[in-house]
């Protein structure tokens, strides 16, 4: 069944918040207050992309006889685009690092410290960039946002 | 690997008898292979370089593997070297490099335009030069690394090194940013598609609940895609501005004094939805878009698209 037909319920609904879309446009070069229709179109673009990506992943999964989507299906769907592949790899590595560090901080129950560590990470992003950091002294794990 | 490579063909020409050597030779290749291992490394390199075979001299057992995959460290680990290395430098390059151009545009009517533009350009040029130099170092290091043994730890080490180097480069570049540039860079690092929304969309599309790594991957890909689209839209916008020759802000543009491109950057308005749509269209047409909009491919494969029921009039097919 065509993926767009399945989205029927959400037609016309804005999926991403106004502020996020504005930050996206600003970060990549638009003015600080983008036009309203531009944001709507961007929202729809991203939603469609996600939908089609998942659909493509689902196709290969069902060909393999699986119903559930796995990470490798997404990777396979991106196979033509090495940039995307690399970015996915990078994100997964970062996530692993963060999880490992969380375990170091609180080996008993990392769910308890989750919010505290997340807050810690939030602060680190912006300060990350402008301070001359002695990278060698860091424990070898880079905190950074996606 | 299964196809007979040219070196084996040479064997054929030299020996009239069937290529299978006499039985007495059979155990020898097996034994020799072990002692051959230390010397096989240089032979592999030579093979890679010139496709000549040195195997025909040593052992001509028909089942022996005569062609090897290119000696690439970390080949066994998925996507370890090329995609992520290129991506990381490209991803870090994408953000800052595009950010540099925006600085002149943002300070439209202000007086400190020229000096900040010059300063921004100068700094960005030097920073870009530095980054290029360090990237060359990276390339050199990777060339040296190709000869190392392909162990898991070695490639993981190199990955960590690379990550450190990339981070150092980023900090270096970020230090040279002006105010606007830095804010944009910060925004670019900080933006993320919220996991909840992404999860909702994905779950609804697939009508199943997907595990977390899938969501992470989709987030990463979608953020890249959005970035590609917006930057493409800016390119489209600049092209259209150039084509029509008018400025979107309606202000009279002063005569160009030899810095034409900088002038163009200054006179831009906000992005139009049409820019985005055009950028999307171009992205689809380009083959390296690859994914996204596979609906076309899917329809073609399923014969369920428009092409399936071609319109026919009077026995002849219209709109081929």
Candidates B77, B87, B89; CA nearest to B154 is B77
Please check whether residues A38 and A63 belong to one and the same domain.
Answer: yes
In angstroms, rounded to a whole number, what is the distance separating the alpha carbons of residues A96 and A143? 11
- Segment B251-293, tens digit of pLDDT: 555 554 444 444 445 557 788 899 889 998 888 887 665 555 5
Q: Is A100 on the interface with B (CB under 8 A)?
A: no
A92-115 b/e (C-beta count within 10 Å ≥ 16 → b): bebbebbeebbeeeeeeebeebee
Residue B80 domain flag? no
Number of folded domains in chain A? 2
pTM metric for this prediction: 0.55
In a domain, A50, yes or no: yes
Q: Please say if the pLDDT value at position B139 is more than 50.
A: no
In a domain, B277, yes or no: yes
In a domain, A22, yes or no: yes
B283 is in which domain, residue-wise?
211-246+270-299
Chain A environment of B106 (Cβ under 8 Å): 31
pLDDT digits (tens, 9 = 90+) for B29-75: 444 444 444 444 444 444 444 444 444 445 567 777 777 766 555 44
Q: How far is CA A26 from the centre of its chain?
A: 18
B233 in a structural domain: yes
Q: Which among A51, A69, A81 has the least Cβ separation from residue B288?
A: A81
The arithmetic mean of pLDDT across residues A75-90, rounded, is 84
Confidence of residue A15 (pLDDT cuts 50, 70, 90): confident
The answer to whether residues A61 and A111 belong to one domain is no
CA B77 to chain centre: 17
Q: Mean pLDDT in chain A?
A: 73
For residues B158 and A43, what is the distance between their CA atoms, to the nearest angstrom?
Answer: 38
Asked, for residue B226, whether it belongs to a domain, the answer is: yes
Is the pLDDT confidence value at B193 over 70?
yes
Q: Comparing A64-78, B123-137, B186-200, which segment has the lowest mean pLDDT? A: B123-137
Give how far Cα B300 sits from Cα of A5, A118, B20, B295, Å: 18, 46, 49, 8
* Geometric angle at alpha carbon B310, from B309 and B315, rounded to 5°: 120
* Residue A140 in domain: no
pLDDT at residue B119 is higher than 60: no
Number of structural domains in chain B? 1
Residue B157 has pLDDT above 80, yes or no: yes
**A102 and A54 assigned to the same domain:** no
Question: A91 lies in which domain range?
Answer: 82-118
> Nearest CA to CA, how far is B27 from chain A (Å)?
42
User: According to the model, what pLDDT value does residue B173 have?
Assistant: 84
Q: Sorting pLDDT into bands at 50, 70 and 90, what band is A120?
A: low
A–B CB contacts, 8 A cutoff, strictly below:
266
If you measure CA to CA, which chain B residue comes closest to A72?
B214
Name the residue among B237, B156, B205 with its Cα closest to residue A48: B205
Contact A129 B174 (CB under 8 A): yes
How confident is the model over A39-56, as pLDDT tens digits?
A: 889 998 888 888 888 888
């Amino acid at each position: 069944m065509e993926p767009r037909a399945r989205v029927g319920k959400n037609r016309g609904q804005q999926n991403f918040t106004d502020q996020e879309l504005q930050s996206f446009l600003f970060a990549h070069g638009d003015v600080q207050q983008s036009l309203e229709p531009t944001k709507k179109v961007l929202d729809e673009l991203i939603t469609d992309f996600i939908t089609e990506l998942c659909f493509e992943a689902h196709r290969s999964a069902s060909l393999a006889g699986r119903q559930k989507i796995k990470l490798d299906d997404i990777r396979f769907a991106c196979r033509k685009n090495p940039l995307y592949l690399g970015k996915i790899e990078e994100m997964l590595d970062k996530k692993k690092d963060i999880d490992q560090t969380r375990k170091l901080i609180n080996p008993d129950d990392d769910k308890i410290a989750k919010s505290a560590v997340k807050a810690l990470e939030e602060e680190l992003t912006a300060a990350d960039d402008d301070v001359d950091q002695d990278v060698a002294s860091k424990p070898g794990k880079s905190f950074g946002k996606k | 690997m299964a196809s007979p490579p040219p070196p084996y063909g040479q064997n054929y020409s030299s020996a009239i008898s069937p290529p299978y050597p006499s039985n007495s030779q059979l155990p020898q290749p097996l034994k020799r292979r072990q002692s051959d291992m230390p010397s096989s490394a240089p032979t592999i390199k030579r093979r890679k370089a010139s496709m000549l075979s040195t195997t025909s001299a040593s052992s001509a057992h028909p089942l022996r593997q005569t062609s090897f995959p290119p000696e690439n460290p970390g080949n066994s680990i998925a996507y370890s070297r090329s995609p992520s290395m290129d991506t990381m430098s490209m991803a870090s390059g994408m953000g800052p490099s595009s950010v540099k151009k925006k600085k002149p545009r943002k300070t439209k009517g202000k007086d400190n335009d020229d000096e900040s533009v010059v300063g921004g350009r100068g700094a960005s040029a030097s920073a870009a030069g530095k980054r290029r130099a360090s990237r060359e170092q990276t390339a050199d290091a990777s060339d040296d690394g190709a000869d190392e043994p392909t162990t898991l730890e070695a490639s993981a080490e190199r990955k960590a090194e690379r990550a450190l180097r990339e981070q150092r480069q980023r900090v270096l570049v970020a230090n040279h940013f002006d105010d606007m540039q830095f804010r944009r860079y910060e925004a670019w690092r900080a933006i993320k598609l919220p996991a909840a929304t992404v999860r909702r969309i994905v779950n609804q599309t697939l009508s199943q609940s997907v595990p977390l790594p899938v969501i992470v991957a989709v987030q990463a890909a979608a953020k890249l895609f959005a970035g590609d689209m917006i930057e493409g839209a800016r390119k489209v916008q600049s092209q259209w501005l150039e084509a029509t020759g008018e400025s979107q802000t309606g202000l009279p543009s002063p005569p160009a004094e030899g810095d034409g491109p900088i002038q163009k950057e200054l006179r831009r308005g906000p992005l139009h939805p049409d820019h985005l749509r055009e950028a999307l269209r171009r992205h689809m047409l380009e083959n390296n878009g690859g994914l996204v909009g596979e609906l076309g491919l899917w329809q073609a494969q399923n014969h369920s698209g428009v092409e399936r029921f071609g319109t026919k009039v009077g026995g002849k097919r219209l709109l081929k």
